[in-house]
């Protein structure tokens, strides 16, 4: 193989984030949308579908949220590790902070797994918010390229980071509100509106992610 096509281990790690999104998240999103349509047809008695369809729709939604969360944490870990290696190649300076960041990422994932288990609405809301705030704290570190933190700057709206954080927040909110979405028409409508925005953000992520890979 030509050396021009060879990648370093860090470059391979950098590709893990988009590969996970492309091979797992986007296909599951398609299945989730289809199951959501079928769940609506069953609820309106348009189509005599089994009772498992709404359950499968919710399960797929959890997989989408979890997949996006894991992909974001992988992208953060890559940025932290790349910055550490660049600042201190082969050295031990900053290892303690790197370990703390990894533990914080594992803690964020643990919060999400706990969110999937709790039943009380206040607990679900608190855990979803805590998971999202943990992402914001991790993303606020200097190693993360956010372009800008100023929403009045055009780069803010072109930022792969900020659209990804908003996307993750909306997915976490859907997971947390799942029982209420099933019970209340107003919540189902809000769920649909929110997921239209999710679809737009997924498209934005695809565009900005591809743009970033061009300068990778």
**Rounded to the nearest 5 degrees, what angle is found at the Cα of 184, between the Cα atoms of 182 and 189?**
90
Question: Per mean pLDDT, which range of 19-33, 39-53, 84-98, 201-215 is the poorest?
Answer: 84-98
Residue 203 has what pLDDT?
95
Residues 6+ apart with CB under 8 A from 184: none
CA distance 66 to 62: 6
User: What is the phi/psi pair of residue 184, to 5°?
Assistant: -120, 130
Question: Residue 1 pLDDT more than 50?
Answer: no
Given a contact cutoff of 8 angstroms between Cβ atoms, the answer to whether 86 and 14 are in contact is no
Taking alpha carbons only, the member of 177, 169, 162 closest to residue 198 is 169
Q: In angstroms, what is the C-alpha Rg of the chain?
A: 19
**pLDDT tens, 179-204?**
999 899 999 999 999 999 999 999 99
Please report, in angstroms and rounded to a whole number, the separation of the first and last CA atoms in the chain: 20
**pLDDT tier for residue 128 given thresholds of 50, 70 and 90:** very high
Does residue 168 register a pLDDT over 80? yes
| pLDDT interval class at 11 (50, 70, 90) | confident
Averaged pLDDT score across all residues of the chain: 91
């Amino acid at each position: 193989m030509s050396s021009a096509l060879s990648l370093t281990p860090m470059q391979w790690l950098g590709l893990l984030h988009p590969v996970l999104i492309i091979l797992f998240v986007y296909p599951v999103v398609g299945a989730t949308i289809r199951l959501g349509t079928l769940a609506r047809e069953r609820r309106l008695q348009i189509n005599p579908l089994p009772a498992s369809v709404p359950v499968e729709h919710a399960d797929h939604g959890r997989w989408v949220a979890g997949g996006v969360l894991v992909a974001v944490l992988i992208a953060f870990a890559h940025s932290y590790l790349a910055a550490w290696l660049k600042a201190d190649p082969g050295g031990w300076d900053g290892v303690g902070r790197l370990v703390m960041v990894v533990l914080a990422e594992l803690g964020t994932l643990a919060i999400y797994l706990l969110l999937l288990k709790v039943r009380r609405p206040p607990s679900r809301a608190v855990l979803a918010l805590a998971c999202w705030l943990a992402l914001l704290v991790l993303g606020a570190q200097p190693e993360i390229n956010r372009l800008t933190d100023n929403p009045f700057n055009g780069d803010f709206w072109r930022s792969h980071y900020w659209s990804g954080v908003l996307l993750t927040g909306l997915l976490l909110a859907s997971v947390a509100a799942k029982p209420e979405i099933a019970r209340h028409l107003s919540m189902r409508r809000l769920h649909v509106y929110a997921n239209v925005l999710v679809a737009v953000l997924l498209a934005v992520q695809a565009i900005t992610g591809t743009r970033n890979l061009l300068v990778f």
